[in-house]
Amino acid sequence: MKVLSLFANIGVAEAYLRGLGIEVSVANELLERRAKLYSEIYPETEMISGDITNAKIFNHVIEAAKNRKVDCIMATPPCQGMSTAGQQDEEDERNKLIMPVMDAVHILKPNYVFIENVPNFLNTAIEVKGNNILIPKYIENELGNEYEIHSYTINTKNYSVPQVRERAIFLITKKGLSHIWLLPKPDEKIITMRDAIGNIPSIDPYIKDISKKEMKEMFPEYEEKKERALEISRWNIPPHHIKRQVVSMMHTPTGKTAFDNEKYFPVKENGTPVKGYRNTYKRQNWDTPAYTVTMDNRKISSQNNVHPGRYLGKDKNGDDVYSDARTLTLYELMLVMSLPSDWPVPEKTSEAFLRRIIGEGIPPLFVKKVFEKLIER
């Protein structure tokens, strides 16, 4: 099977496809920096960087797909205009990026099409020839005569991914084929945070607004823990935070938010209490899958980002203290996203850049299971 990957980013979704004998022959990504990294990870793929709505770029993608005899299209359009983490703006032009996908299907006539987005993709309308139409209806109007269309709302936690992540999925099969692409059955076992990262030793955060002496007093084993962490993976880098946030989280139990702390309530630089949502300054739980990874996963002050931690005992003031008062390391995020341990990301890649990209992606283990269902005979 040969695949055209649209809105490919750096190739998070296709991380396992090579191992299934599936060739991602051609890929398109708008942003040059992402496209360049994609090519370093997948040098065998013809990457075409540029705006798919530009006729020259679109035609280049189509000709390359024809030359490589692509028989499957995988499209993961940007979701910022539809995501609950974004503005949910039906006027966002990115919502219309499903339209060049339909154009590509009409021209290439692949046997199969995979489309993925946030659940609100199913409830978002776009303007087509002067009329507002829901995206699922638009897809049906465009492809219904030639293709059998199955749409789903799934949660990746049901497919051995240690993360709660709801997605809208379209599996589309050309009519007349004997093998119809359907969603695989959910797995029986739920993979938890403990399963995914529970064996990784404790890692202290690096506190960037204090002296080396104070850092040594707060975390006397920081260097030893850091060295041990980097032996596991070069991406297992201690996150950098500010002292007042770390102190709040040191006194926040597993699964709780620091907004429940009476004594160690989150404060601003001027000492006034922080106002925020209860899913911020919050530790994850060990015995459930991780919360949805977002692009803003470096911050304690953003949604559900803090490591579950382990109870350490009492401090000198008699207050309960917990380990790992930090966000997840990039390596831990990779595990939560179900990325393969041997994913060949170049060592020079920016950690901040990778963190943001991972927060945009679909867990590749789910994609693997969906494609396994397609190629089974």
Question: Which residues are known to be catalytic?
Answer: 79
371: enclosing H helix or E strand: helix 364-375
CA–CA separation, 123 and 136 (whole Å): 8
User: Strand, coil or helix: what is 82?
Assistant: coil
Name the DSSP letter for residue 156: G
Q: Which residues of 336-349 are buried (b: 16+ CB within 10 A; e: fewer)?
A: bbbbeeeeebeeeb
Determine the angle formed by the axes of helices 135-143 and 98-108, rounding to 10 degrees.
10
Token pair 């005899």 is found at: 69
Distance CA 38, CA 161 (A): 23
**CA-CA distance, 232 to 235, in Å (whole number)?**
9
| Euclidean distance between CA atoms 116 and 209, whole angstroms | 41
Query: Two tokens at 157?
Result: 């936690």
Q: Which two tokens stand for residue 105?
A: 């299907």
Residue 57 Cα distances to 47, 142, 283, angstroms: 11, 22, 44
Q: How far apart are the first and last CA of the chain?
A: 13
CB neighbour class for 79 (10 Å; exposed up to 12, middle 13-18, buried from 19): buried
Position 66, amino acid: K
Beta-bridge mates of residue 171: 114, 150
Which residue is it, tokens 């975390």?
219
CA distance 329 to 32: 26
Dig out the tokens for 39 from the structure.
């090519």
**Measured distance CA(61)–CA(300) in Å, rounded:** 41
